[in-house]
Structure 1
Amino acid sequence: MLHHFSIAAENPSRVAHALAEVLHGECAPFPPCPGSFMAIALDNYGTMIEVYPAETELMPGFGTEQVTFSSNAFASPFSATHVAISVPTSQQKIEQIAAREGWRAVRCNRDSYFDVIEFWVENKLMIELLTPPMAAKYLEFMQPQNLAKFLSAPEEPVSV
């Protein structure tokens, strides 16, 4: 069960407010890291997205100390990290939010198994959003018996 995750953004407040809107939740400052905000879904799972300033890096503490926040002015604006989230929001509303923010949002099919909306936060970080119908199809695909069939399928030959 995923409860929360963090991302970096050029404008953490703006990003957190837009994500809170997609989640049908609330936005609030995140005090442990100055300049950071939280998009809180206000659901029964504690779903939250922490949004840190772009140059923020999480560093391990020393010995038994907890995580520390560091700043790297040369951090890349791109990342291999992404997440898929089921949201109670329609595709039309997601596209409206993205358009208002000037961000890319495009519905994509993942190998005919399920669809997602690639929601590109600040056009740098991809979050795959699944509307309720998309989430149902995703969950159907991810059931253990269906994954077993998928994983046991013969690999397609690659032509060179």
Structure 2
Amino acid sequence: MIHHISLAKPLGTRIDARDPLRVASVLAKILNGKAYKFLVSNSYSYIVIPFDDYGTHVVVFKEGNVLSPSTDADPVKVIQATPTNLVAIHAAVSVPTSQQQIEQIGQQEGWRVLTRKQGDARFSLVEFWVENRILFEFLPPEFTPQYLEVMKLESIERPTSCSIEPITV
């Protein structure tokens, strides 16, 4: 289950990758799912589906491909933009894979992986840097309860809890 995605611009559950097939294959291992060619023509995109009860999926586009609104009644289109080395996006995702399996997969790919334990962070997580540029915070089964507890309203609004301040909209 995807718990949060932090975005600099609206991307939903889409990321771009230098090697989208490789990234989709790795994410499929961690999410215990399958990767498929995505149904957007000529976009070199893949969709990873873990077939959970929530309809979770991640679409992996080729680096630089972005979604663009159409100028008329046509649906969204994929266009090529200037790729960036690092991105202002990260996602926290509960996965069925163990901490050790996630670390091993990251090491096999040559990607940065760092396990942060509660105390060092607000909750335990595995920082997993896809292509050493896109951050996923993976929560193996043993880490998910901590995250869910920390994200409760009473935990967030506790005075010494964190640096999140409510705003009036």
TM-score interval (norm. to shorter): 0.7 to 0.9
- Equivalent-residue separation in structure 2 for 1:84 and 1:105 (angstroms): 14
Unaligned runs of 5+ in 2: 4-11, 164-169
Q: Which structure's CA Rg is the greater one?
A: 1
Provide Cα deviations, 1:116-153, integer angstroms capped at 9, x if missing partner: 1110001111111011121110101111221221xx33
- Equivalent-residue separation in structure 2 for 1:129 and 1:112 (angstroms): 14
Give the equivalent residue in structure 2 for 1:132: 141
- Equivalent-residue separation in structure 2 for 1:64 and 1:146 (angstroms): 45
What letter corresponds to residue 114 of structure 1 in structure 2? Answer: F
Q: Report how many residues are paired.
A: 153
Q: Which portions of structure 1, spanning 4 or more consecutive aligned residues, are displaced by more than 6 angstroms? A: none
Give the equivalent residue in structure 1 for 2:104: 96
Give the equivalent residue in structure 2 for 1:17: 25
TM-score of the pair, normalised by structure 1: 0.86
1:37 aligns with 2:46: yes
Give the equivalent residue in structure 2 for 1:71: 80
Per the TM alignment, residue 109 of structure 1 is displaced from its structure 2 partner at its CA by 4.3
Q: Secondary structure at the match of 1:132?
A: coil
What letter corresponds to residue 19 of structure 2 in structure 1? Answer: N
RCO higher in 1 or 2 (8 Å CA, sep ≥ 6)? 2
Per the TM alignment, residue 66 of structure 1 is displaced from its structure 2 partner at its CA by 2.5
Unaligned runs of 5+ in 1: none
The structure where helix makes up a greater share of residues is: 1
Please provide the CA RMSD for this pair.
2.2
